[in-house]
Amino acid sequence: MKSRIKRFLKTMLKLTFPMLVFVVAAELLCSIAARWQYGTTDVVKLNELSTGNAYLAELGEKSWGAAITPHPYLGWVRNEETLLTYGERVNNVGLIGRDFPLERDPSTFTILLTGGSVAEQFNRTGHLERILNESGKFNKPVVVLNGATGSYAEPHQAIVTLLYGEVVDAIITIEMTNEFQRLAGGGHVRLEYPHNQSFLRANPVSRHGFDVLGAAWQSNELKNLSISWPSRAVFYATRGARQSLVNRYESAEPDDDTLKRFFSLPEEWSRQQVADFNIEQNKKYWRSIRALGQLHGFKQAHFLQPSPARGKVLTVEEKQRLDASNFNPQQQVAEYEYMSGSLLKMNDEGVPVFNLQEVFADVSDEVYTDTVHCTDHGYEIMARAITEKVIPLWSEDG
């Protein structure tokens, strides 16, 4: 009996020992890989670092898709991943910066600045708030709230104003880049057609249907399995399975027809007709902001973003970046001039509109980091130009 038990144990050892060696070796190699790739071997932290947004868009990467979440009225805002990915604080309305108050503070002059990624970056420098306070023209502290984030375009600015305009003394919008294609008549869609890059990443059901929710559920179950087993090998195995779900979702044929149908314009319209229609839409939203300002007692000013297409002698580095992005300044200049000329006419209606196109005309050093965004120095120049325009309009003594 003892010899039979002994033989059985030896047989089991022969069978299990290679498996045990394999498991230990796999765990060791995966631990080394985790430490090298993520800087930690803690399974919970590994899953936090490797998981993107809830709908699997760009799962496993620190990306724009991982830092936004759906919003019922704005389409998308920032989420808690922003702190992990970008090191920035998300406020109580889902945007970067200080919290929004629930009512207007009479002890401060509060400005809500809104727009797309340029406006958000501009806000993050703090130059406008600092320069306005240094001017001493408002006889009270000036506070600038950030109402901007990447890919916002009209009517985002109007919606942000509708949601929060009553708590501020003034609204500033910095815009044109994200509206440019629509205002130039591209795509045969209305101005309101959402920016695909952000809207679809935050709301993929609109393009891929509800199958993506099933994939998200499966991915979440795999993540929970990984967390319940404190093993680096299990983490990498489940991560691979999650990535296969992403690949299947991303390779699926998207359905763009429904979303485009909501915002389509007549196919027989010329590019010029589409452009004119969308320019009028843009004016409509600025008039809406004016009406809200009359209702709630806040002021407004709109600034058209500068573009490297004109208004500055570009450095060698700036030219190289534009060439790499296939930027076409000749085409953009003509379209920009037409759009800006039409929008600037709103000053005749009492809607303050200013063109920042010449703001870098006398600047010889580098200010453009790509076709739209600027260096810190560039944003400081913009802040001084904006200050020069709003002080005569808004300060108590001009």
Given this model, what pLDDT does residue 327 score?
72
Given this model, what pLDDT does residue 59 score?
30
Q: Does a structural domain hold residue 11? A: yes
Q: Based on the domain organization, do 7 and 149 belong to the same domain?
A: no
What would the two tokens of residue 42 be? 């803690």
Burial class (CB in 10 A: 0-12, 13-18, 19+), 213: middle
Report the C-alpha gap between 171 and 156 in whole angstroms: 13
Q: Is 264:135 a contact under the CB 8 Å cutoff?
A: no
Report the C-alpha gap between 81 and 51 in whole angstroms: 10
Q: Is 58:52 a contact under the CB 8 Å cutoff?
A: yes
Q: Does a structural domain hold residue 148? A: yes
Q: Does a structural domain hold residue 326? A: yes
Q: Based on the domain organization, do 243 and 343 belong to the same domain?
A: no
Q: Does a structural domain hold residue 169? A: yes
Q: Based on the domain organization, do 118 and 182 belong to the same domain?
A: yes
Given this model, what pLDDT does residue 35 score?
67
Q: Based on the domain organization, do 248 and 270 belong to the same domain?
A: no
Token match 């085409």: residue?
A: 331
Given this model, what pLDDT does residue 85 score?
56
ω into residue 204 within 30 of 0, thus cis? no
Report the C-alpha gap between 366 and 356 in whole angstroms: 17
Given this model, what pLDDT does residue 45 score?
58
Q: Does a structural domain hold residue 200? A: no
Q: Based on the domain organization, do 231 and 308 belong to the same domain?
A: no
Q: Based on the domain organization, do 99 and 40 belong to the same domain?
A: no
Q: Based on the domain organization, do 295 and 179 belong to the same domain?
A: yes
pTM over 0.85: no
Given this model, what pLDDT does residue 222 score?
61
Last residue of a domain, one of 202, 220, 254: 254
Q: Based on the domain organization, do 46 and 112 belong to the same domain?
A: no
Strands 68-71 and 142-146 come out as unpaired
Report the C-alpha gap between 146 and 275 in whole angstroms: 29
| pLDDT, one tens digit for every residue, the chain (398 residues) | 556 666 665 666 566 656 665 555 655 665 676 566 556 666 555 555 454 322 233 333 345 666 788 899 999 998 876 665 566 789 999 999 999 999 999 999 999 999 999 999 999 999 999 999 999 999 999 999 999 998 899 999 999 999 999 999 999 999 998 898 899 988 899 999 987 667 877 776 666 555 555 555 555 566 666 666 666 666 666 666 666 666 665 555 555 667 788 899 999 999 999 999 999 999 999 999 999 999 999 999 999 999 888 889 999 988 887 776 677 777 778 888 999 999 999 999 999 999 999 999 999 999 998 888 999 999 999 999 999 999 999 987 65
Q: Based on the domain organization, do 65 and 107 belong to the same domain?
A: no
User: What total number of domains does the chain contain?
Assistant: 2
Q: Based on the domain organization, do 172 and 288 belong to the same domain?
A: yes
Q: Does a structural domain hold residue 316? A: yes
Q: Based on the domain organization, do 315 and 372 belong to the same domain?
A: yes
Report the C-alpha gap between 16 and 36 in whole angstroms: 30
HEC states along the chain? CHHHHHHHHHHHHHHHHHHHHHHHHHHHHHHHHHHHHHCCCCHHHHHHHHCCCCCCCCCCCCCCHHHEEEECCCEEEECCHHHHHHCCCECCCCCECCCCCCCCCCCCEEEEEEECHHHHHHHHHCHHHHHHHHHCCCCCCEEEEECCCCCCCCCHHHHHHHHHHHHCCEEEEEECCCCHHHHCCHHHECCCCCCHHHHHHHCCHHHHCCHHHHHHHHHHHHHHHHHHCCCHHHHHHHHHHHHHHHHHHHHCCCCCHHHHHHHECCCCCCHHHHHHHHHHHHHHHHHHHHHHHHHHCCEEEEEECCCCCCCCCCCHHHHHHHHHCCCCHHHHHHHHHHHHHHHHHHHHHCCCEEECCCCCCCCCCCCECCCCCECHHHHHHHHHHHHHHHHHHHCCCC
Q: Based on the domain organization, do 32 and 96 belong to the same domain?
A: no
Q: Does a structural domain hold residue 332? A: yes
Report the C-alpha gap between 125 and 101 in whole angstroms: 21
Residue ranges making up the domain that contains 279: 91-194+264-394
Residue type for position 332: Q
Packing angle between helix 127-135 and helix 376-394, nearest 10 degrees?
40
Q: Does a structural domain hold residue 202? A: no
Report the C-alpha gap between 398 and 392 in whole angstroms: 4
Q: For the chain, how big is the Rg over CA atoms in Å?
A: 27
